[in-house]
Amino acid sequence: MVDLVKRFGDTVAVDHVSLDIYGGEFFALLGPSGCGKTTLLRMLAGFETPDAGQILLGGEDLSRIAPYERPVNMMFQSYALFPHMTVEQNIAFGLQMEKMPRPRIRERVEEMLALTRLEKFARRRPDQLSGGQRQRVALARALAKKPKLLLLDEPLGALDRKLREATQFELVNIQESLGLTFVIVTHDQEEAMTVSTRLAVMRDGKVAQVGEPQEVYEAPSSRYVADFIGDVNILAGRVGEGGAIELEAGGTARCASATTRRAGSAVALALRPEKMSLALVEESGERGDNTLIGRVEDIAYLGDMSIYHVRVAPDTRIKVARTNRFRAAEREITWDDEVKLAWDASALVLLQD
Ligand code: ATP
């Protein structure tokens, strides 16, 4: 995609987006409602025409190819299945429209049924299937024409959490076994991180950051991305002499990248809740750089872990995630305890904006 633009009246739905999606990858477009991700996907499918820019697939300009002739297919949510047709008829439909010879259609349908583990349900109608099975029919139908590029628009939105997770892994397995390029649109960051090899976080029609899930999580470029992908604490500060950062919440932070900023400049640092340790002040010894002192105000018990909300300054509360493993010798940290938060310099990310 090169410098793509799409407007609807006064709304700029897609605002000069350039993105490279590599062959054979599972790419996720991630962002909140209204950020333009569906419009971008619909332009790839050919359902919307860009106002400017180009979409190239293997060097070929897609805008010259009619939607039905593009080597691209879109998987819709399962309610778009034909209700009066059986599973195999649903899968065969697009191939019949293409006038594929009957024996080849049979063969292709068998292949798709096996791929999506639907052999036993070939003669059922969609209303005789579970939600997860219907979803697999929708996938089999979208893959039947063997597109080079499969587009998935919030495909798992209708499924409950457990089924959603299982289906995410199925999607990845199918994508890997076929070696096709998948592009998924989702507003669910966990889903995007689970399925994708790379993802783009979108904001107001623009791409805020592109990268592998781990890269975007570990090194978000902006407050927006840090906040959208996972939970994060933002620490405000000012660069002092020698590159140390004086935190507004008290104390001094050191992170490798801050040394490039001029002394006196205001900075914002991202710090993930799971990258900090928590200890009672009375047991924690010296206070050095990369620490904060505060008081525990709230604790959310989540089973495998707890989230501690620690007041470190009148206007700053920090979230710390702590696994609830067995701790025989320690006194449990609880409400109102005075605690020391500590982290590694490598845990701090200097945000660009
Ligand atoms: P959602 O997750 O809610 O579908 P999205 O990120 O996919 O959101 P889009 O559907 O691409 O966002 O919409 C981007 C912007 O373009 C929104 O402001 C939306 O209102 C507008 N928009 C999208 N389609 C149309 C249309 N056909 N006519 C007018 N405005 C549109």
Q: What's this model's pTM, rounded to 2 decimal places?
A: 0.90
Residue 171, token pair as written in the block? 């999607």
Task: Give the ipTM.
Answer: 0.95
> Could you tell me the distance, in angstroms and rounded to a whole number, from the CA of residue 22 to the centre of ligand 1?
25
Q: How far is the CA of 202 from the centre of ligand 1 (A)?
A: 13
User: Whole-angstrom Cα distance, residue 260 to residue 271?
Assistant: 19
pLDDT one digit per residue (tens) for the chain, 353 residues: 899 999 999 999 999 999 999 999 999 999 999 999 999 999 999 999 999 999 998 888 887 788 778 899 998 765 689 999 999 999 999 999 989 999 999 999 999 999 999 999 999 999 999 988 998 999 999 999 999 999 999 888 878 888 889 889 999 999 999 999 999 999 999 999 999 999 999 999 999 999 999 999 999 999 999 999 989 999 999 998 877 899 999 989 998 775 678 888 899 999 999 999 999 998 877 788 999 999 999 999 998 899 999 999 999 999 999 998 876 656 789 999 999 999 999 999 999 87
- Protein residue with its CA nearest to atom 26 in ligand 1: 8
The response to whether residue 39 sits with its C-beta less than 6 Å from ligand 1 reads yes
Nearest CA residue ID for atom 29, ligand 1:
8
